[in-house]
Amino acid sequence: MQDVNVYATHEHVAAEIGGERALRKIIPAQPDDSQDPTKGYREAAAMDVLKALGRRVPPVFETMLSVPSELKDVVVYGTLMRLYKQAITADGDRWSLLFREEKKRYESELAGLVLTVSNAASIGPTSIPVFRR
């Protein structure tokens, strides 16, 4: 997998949630994450997105992506979904409503994702390959 910053950065996640202060409410600071506390969550979200794209018909693989930044929103939503899930585990159900909202955003973004791929104009969830003789 490419570096996760190609898809979405820590700043994208912080901006989506409302800033670094809001982000620190759901992810406590740890000594080893001072530079990039969301990297592990973003990597896991990116892997999930790439797996889901590989299961599409026609499948889209990472090497086919012409514009990797098109995955930014879905990776950010997947990261926030994972962060809220972790917050529920650590801090209780007060984060469950936000988790459900983020999960809906993630799933709808993933379902409607249209990507620019190499050697083709675009591939979306309703693209069906046509083969001619």
Better-predicted residue by pLDDT, 21 or 124 = 21
Name residue 105's amino acid.
R
Helix (H/G/I), strand (E/B), else coil: 115: strand
DSSP state of 14: H
User: Residue 54: phi, psi to the nearest 5?
Assistant: -70, -20
The closest of 7, 125, 18 to 65, measured between CA atoms, is 7
Q: Where are the domains of the chain?
A: 4-111
pLDDT in tens, 3-22: 899 999 999 999 999 998 89
Supply the mean pLDDT for the chain: 86
Better-predicted residue by pLDDT, 92 or 52 = 52
Residues 6 or more apart in contact with residue 123 via CB below 8 angstroms: 56, 58, 60, 114, 115, 117
Mean pLDDT of 67-90: 93
Task: Using pLDDT thresholds of 50, 70 and 90, give the confidence band for residue 57.
Answer: confident
| Residue 125 pLDDT greater than 90, yes or no | no
> Among the residues of 30-95, which ranges form H helices?
39-54, 72-91
